[in-house]
C-alpha cells in the first residue's frame, strides 16, 4: 500500500474512533453548555495532539521504509555498474590479446594495430576512471585499481 494512502487511512480511522469514543465518554457527564464547550475544546486539542503524533510516527516509518528501499536500489545499481566494468575490462584484455596476435602476423596493417592499441588503452583507462569516480559518494567508491 502506498505510504500516503496508509497514512490517510490511519488518520481517518483514528478520527472516527476518537469522535465516537470521546463523545460516548462525555455523554454521561452532566454539564452546562459552557462546560460542554470547555470539554469539546479540550477534546479537540487532545485530538490535534494525538493525531499529530500518529501522523508523525506514520510519516517517519514511511520515510524509513523508503530510505531502505532506495538504499537497496542504490546497492543493486552499484553492483550492476561494477559487473559492467568487470565485463568491459575483460573485453579490453581480450582485445589486447587479439592485438598481440595481430602484431605477430604480417597480414595486418601496422597503423591499424597502433590505432587499436590506442583506443583499447584509452577505453581501459576511462573504465578505470569511471569505476573509481562512480555515481556514489567518495567514501563509498571502490578502491582505485591500477590500469
What letter would DSSP give residue 32? -
The reported pLDDT for the residue numbered 41 is 92
**Cell numbers 476518537 correspond to what residue?**
18
The domains of the chain are located at 3-140
Give me the mean pLDDT over the 75-83 stretch: 90
The pLDDT of residue 115 is above 50: yes
Q: What are the Cα distances from residue 45, in Å, to 20, 28, 70? A: 16, 21, 37
The reported pLDDT for the residue numbered 128 is 82
The reported pLDDT for the residue numbered 147 is 44
Q: What percent of the chain has pLDDT over 70?
A: 89
Give me the mean pLDDT over the 67-84 stretch: 93
C-beta atoms surrounding 7 within 10 Å: 18
Closest CA to 15 of 43, 56, 39, 37: 43
What letter would DSSP give residue 143? P
pLDDT in tens, 7-57: 999 999 999 999 999 989 888 887 888 888 898 999 999 999 999 999 999
What letter would DSSP give residue 138? G
The reported pLDDT for the residue numbered 66 is 94
The reported pLDDT for the residue numbered 47 is 94
The reported pLDDT for the residue numbered 58 is 92
Rounded to whole angstroms, the Cα distance separating 19 from 15 reads 6
Amino acid at each position: 500500500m502506498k505510504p500516503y494512502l496508509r497514512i490517510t487511512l490511519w488518520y481517518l480511522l483514528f478520527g472516527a474512533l476518537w469522535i465516537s469514543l470521546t463523545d460516548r465518554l462525555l455523554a454521561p457527564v452532566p454539564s452546562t453548555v459552557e462546560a460542554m464547550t470547555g470539554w469539546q475544546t479540550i477534546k479537540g486539542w487532545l485530538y490535534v495532539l494525538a493525531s499529530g503524533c500518529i501522523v508523525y510516527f506514520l510519516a517517519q516509518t514511511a520515510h524509513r521504509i523508503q530510505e531502505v528501499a532506495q538504499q537497496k536500489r542504490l546497492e543493486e545499481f552499484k553492483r550492476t555498474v561494477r559487473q559492467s566494468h568487470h565485463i568491459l575490462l575483460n573485453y579490453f584484455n581480450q582485445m589486447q590479446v587479439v592485438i598481440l596476435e595481430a602484431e605477430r602476423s604480417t597480414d595486418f596493417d601496422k597503423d591499424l594495430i597502433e590505432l587499436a592499441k590506442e583506443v583499447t588503452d584509452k577505453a581501459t583507462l576511462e573504465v578505470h576512471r569511471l569505476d573509481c569516480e562512480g555515481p556514489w559518494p567518495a567514501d563509498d567508491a571502490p578502491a582505485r585499481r591500477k590500469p
